[in-house]
Amino acid sequence: MPAPRFHTLALLGALTISALTTTPAQAGKTLDAIKQRGTIQCGVSTGVAGFSLPDSQGKWSGFDADFCRALAAAVLGDANKVNFVPLNSQQRFSAIQSGEVDLLARNTTWTLNRDASLGLSFTGVTYYDGQGFLVPKKLKVTSAKQLKNAEICVQSGTTNEKNLADYFRAQNVKVKPVVFEGFEASFKAFFSGRCQAYTTDISGLAGVRNKETKNPDDYVILPEVISKEPLGPAVRRGDDEWFAIVRWVAFALIEAEEYGITQANVERIKAESQDPSIGRLLGSSEDTGKLLGLNRDWAARAIKAVGNYGEIFARNVGPDSVLKLPRGLNNLWNKGGILFAPPVR
C-alpha cells in the first residue's frame, strides 16, 4: 500500500532541509597548499602603473600588488610572503586554470564569458573603471566621434579590443584598429606616432600619460567612457574556502575605511573601541576568522600591512600617485560612490 501523499511530501521536505543544513561548503586545497608553500602565488600584470609595476630592484607596487600583500598578511601573517607572477593578457587565464597562480589580481575585467566559461570566479569588484581614448592635444580632437578613419592602437586579447569595434560600429564611424600583443608595445607605438589615438581603461590611459611622457599636458583623455570595466581578483572555480577568503579580505579593507580604521591607528582602535562592529572586524570581540579558516585578527593584519581601501587608492592611483585620478565611482557609498561591502558579521 503506497504511503499517503502528505507523508511523502513531508519526508521529501525533511530530506531537503537536512541536505541544505548539513552539506558542508565545497572546500578545495588552495589554502592548505599556500600554508605548506609559505607564500601566495599572485598573478599580476607585466607592468601597469598604479596597479602592478616592478621597480629597478624588482619590488612591486600598485593597487593590485597591495591587495596581494593584504591577502598574505591575513592568511600567512606576513605581507611579504607573496610571489608576484607577471602575466600578459594571453597568459593570465591559463595561469590560474593550471594552478600556476592562486589568484589573478591583474586589472582584469569581470565579464559573463570569463566568469562562466573559463573555470574561474571573480570574487568582487575592487576598482570600477571604463574604457576611453588618449589623443595628442595638437590634433585638436575633442570627441571620439571625430576619429573617423583614424588608426587606434589597442592591445589584443583584452576587452578593450572588442569594445573598440563595438563602439565605432554602433556610431557608424570607421576606424582602423592597430593591434599589439603587449600592453607596453601598444602604448609605445602610439607615443611614437604609429596611431592617432590609443585606447585602454581610463586608469591605464592616465598611467601611461603621466609616466611615459615628458609633458603629460601634450595628451588629452577624451570625454567618452565607452564601457563598464569592473576590475577585481579572480580565483579558480571549485574552491569555496579560498574564494571566500579573497572576497572578504577585500570587503574588510572597504569596511575599515568606512569605520575610519587606518594603517596607523588599527592597533589602538582594536584595543580601545567598544563598537561591536569594529570588534567583529578586528577580532577583539568576536572571532570571524574561524569562519574563513583564518586567525581571529585576519582583517587587522591586512589593514596593518597596507592600510584601508582609501589609503591603497590614494597612494597608487589617487591624488598621492602619478595617476592623480579622482575617487569617482570608487568612493564609499555614503560619500557619493558605489563602493559597498557587506557587513563583517
Helices (H), ranges, 108-239: 112-117, 159-171, 183-191, 202-212
Pinpoint the residues of the chain covered by CATH 3.40.190.10. 30-128+231-335, 131-227
Tens-place pLDDT, residues 212-267: 999 999 999 999 999 999 999 999 999 999 999 999 999 999 999 999 999 999 99
Query: Of the ranges 18-32, 103-117, 139-153, 310-324, which one carries the lowest mean pLDDT score?
Result: 18-32
Note the pLDDT of residue 90: 87
Give me the CATH topology for the region 131-227.
D-Maltodextrin-Binding Protein; domain 2 (3.40.190)
Q: Looking at the DSSP assignment, which residues form a beta bridge with residue 129? A: 229
What is the rounded CA–CA span in Å between residue 156 and residue 165? Answer: 12
Residue 254, SS3 per DSSP: helix
DSSP category for residue 148: T
Query: CB–CB of 73/65 below 8 Å?
Result: no
What is the pLDDT averaged over residues 275-295? 96
Q: How confident is the model at residue 25 (pLDDT cuts 50, 70, 90)?
A: very low
With CA atoms as reference, report the closest residue to 83 among 62, 63, 107, 58.
Answer: 58
Tens-place pLDDT, residues 52-107: 999 999 999 999 999 999 999 999 999 999 999 999 988 999 999 999 999 999 98
Q: How confident is the model at residue 28 (pLDDT cuts 50, 70, 90)?
A: low
Q: How many CB atoms lie within 10 A of CB 272?
A: 11
Which CATH code fits 30-128+231-335? 3.40.190.10
> Does the structure show a pLDDT above 60 at 165?
yes
What is the rounded CA–CA span in Å between residue 42 and residue 82? Answer: 7
What is the rounded CA–CA span in Å between residue 181 and residue 115? Answer: 23
